[in-house]
A and B are shown apart, each in its own frame.
Chain A
Amino acid sequence: MLQTFNRSFRTAAWLGWQVESNWTDPLLFFAFSVLKPVSSVLILVFMYHAVAGAGSDAPIYAYIFLGNAFYIYVGAVMAGTSYAILDDRERYRTLKYLYIAPIAMPMYLLGRAVARFVVGTLAVVITLLVGIFFLNVPVNLLTVDWPLFGLTLALGIICLSFMGLALGAWTLTIRNEPWFLGDAVAASLYLFSGAIFPITLLPGWLQPLAYGLPVTYWLELLRRATLGPNAAAFPTFAAWSNGQLLAALTGLTLAFGLLAALAFRFFDRLARERGLIDAQSNF
């Protein structure tokens, strides 16, 4: 049992990497891992400049920049995993063969997520470096709390893969134009996880949703790890210690792991019942 899991995970990670890194055109690779993320962060940077003039020392500047930069992982890992299912079903038309192959489907998808993570890391690193060296983002690589950063990042990525798994299984049950789902969920979470503005700005009745999302705690911890004391200048989680935030993130990760397992079983059965494993959406 464990062996099958292990084998399928490694095969899947390898297969996933082959698919994800199969960029025939280095220019396109550049565009997707640099041009898009850097442009979207530049929009925020210039919005800030338009309002505040040239200064970039207000804490909100670093808050927005880092939140947006790390949010790239949400698109890459969570939405990416759900795309992987569709890619296999619609573009490569291989999903049905993967299904009948002796590899555990969730493991295969997590393998794809790992590949997505590697590609996403490139975009995150480039965005951060551009920010630190050209856009006055006040991150000092020497004072970053690396252990906290590493631990948080790992937890978050695991959690995002779980979310991607659940989302991917859901996407599988949608016949027409299911591509939007990953985008729509990623875009909604963007608003509710304090990525680019503190969640206290949201209407009061929406705030509980934000507190229920692991990404909220994850981003807060990443900011604290990279900015040190500057991050605390923002009041959303002022009363929370790092330990409390970590506990919340761990708890939610476990919860989403369970949710992903249940969702996968449920949607998987639904997809089989409705014969959607080899469906094609029409355009």
Chain B
Amino acid sequence: MAHEALAIQTENLGRVYTIKAIKKGEAKQRVALNDVNLEVGRGEFFGLLGPNGAGKTTLIKILTTLLAPTHGRATVAGYDVARQAAQVRPLINMVSGGESSGYGLLTVRENLWMFGQFYGLDSKSTYRRVDALLEIVGLSDRAHTKTSDLSTGLRQKMNIVRGFLTDPQIIFLDEPTLGLDVGASREVRSFVRNWVDERPDRTLLLTTHYMAEAEELCQRVAIINAGKVLACDSPANLKRRLQREAIFRLDVSPLRNGALSTFETLPGVRKFVHTPQDGKSELDLILAEDGAIASVVTTLTSHGAQILNLQKREPTLEDVFVDLVGLSMEQAAAS
């Protein structure tokens, strides 16, 4: 491996999918990644935050040599992922959430052994490491269970062990907590954090659409939407962009449709997100300054809305996303 090289580097990276038309006619093209420029240093814990369909998995597939870029280039550990896949592969591993791996007939331990073999590990030390990793993620008592008998959560834990088994220089985690319950997600995050803390030279790239996850774990985060990287910095710096703005959470009685349009013309309202809830409306507001809240409240009451709760809060990465895209992550995923 080229030692000084960055762990991951992309230059104007792009990927266009060609979707074959089912009926006769022209094939459609879908731009999944557009002009992505990223640099991830060795030892960094890097996050990719974006809604569903943003292009996160596409980027991971390209970096793990599973997919060729259609534009630009990408290197992992200094090697070109398209042309030098053979050099890249021994150094990396990947875990995707919501996917299982291995064969249902094999036990957890056997499946992990099998994958270890594909990475040229000798059997004895593979088993030792498998057992230790299973112990850490709390799966030791299932080591001899057939994987087909595991619950989704446990299968995902096994999948995570598979990814870390080979002690990769660079590991890619594609929404590793997808579909896990709160407790299991916490355990996974804690495992990953400890792993990074104990190995300062290992690089980790994590994608997620849970902003709390990115905020909690990552040293730097790139915010991605519709194939484009919109910002890339540490969570603290990203939030500092909203330092001068004031962020409010307002709960009001259910709003009628017309009420929202008047907001757009209110002075001082930069962005707002309306989330209808059971029996109330939730409003997240990014305001140019504190004072603007007064006219918001006035407008709301003039529309007959009742204020249930008003709270000023610290910016989150979600607010950064709203500020950049103009939509909440949920709304961006739906569109």
Contact = CB atoms under 8 A, between A and B. Distances in A.
Query: A and B: direct contact (Cβ < 8 Å)?
Result: yes
Contacts of A282: 104, 148
Contacts of B104: 282-283
Contacts of A283: 104
Interface in A248-283: 282-283
Interface in B187-238: none
A282 B104 CA distance: 8
Contacts of B148: 282
A107 to B, nearest CB: 36
Interface string A28-54: 000000000000000000000000000
3 contacts: A282-B104, A282-B148, A283-B104
A2 B148 CA distance: 45
B107 to A, nearest CB: 15
A282 B148 CA distance: 7
A283 B148 CA distance: 8
Interface of B: 104, 148
For the residues of A in contact with B, the DSSP-based class is: loop
A44 B148 CA distance: 42
Nearest to B149: A282
A216 to B, nearest CB: 40
B245 to A, nearest CB: 50
Interface string A130-171: 000000000000000000000000000000000000000000
Nearest to B104: A282
A215 to B, nearest CB: 37
A282 B103 CA distance: 11
A280 to B, nearest CB: 11
Nearest to A283: B104
A78 B148 CA distance: 32
Interface string A56-98: 0000000000000000000000000000000000000000000
Nearest to A176: B148
A113 to B, nearest CB: 33
Q: Report, nearest first, the 3 A-B pairs whose CB atoms are least far apart.
A: A282-B148, A282-B104, A283-B104
Nearest to B103: A283
Nearest to A282: B148
A267 B217 CA distance: 54
A283 B104 CA distance: 7
A90 to B, nearest CB: 15
B145 to A, nearest CB: 13
A177 to B, nearest CB: 12
Nearest to B147: A282
A225 to B, nearest CB: 48
A282 B155 CA distance: 15
A131 to B, nearest CB: 40
A283 B105 CA distance: 8
A281 to B, nearest CB: 10
A282 B146 CA distance: 12
A282 B100 CA distance: 14
A167 B236 CA distance: 67
Nearest to B146: A282
B209 to A, nearest CB: 29
A124 B104 CA distance: 40
B101 to A, nearest CB: 15
B266 to A, nearest CB: 51
A282 B147 CA distance: 11
A211 to B, nearest CB: 43
B232 to A, nearest CB: 43
A18 to B, nearest CB: 21
A147 to B, nearest CB: 50
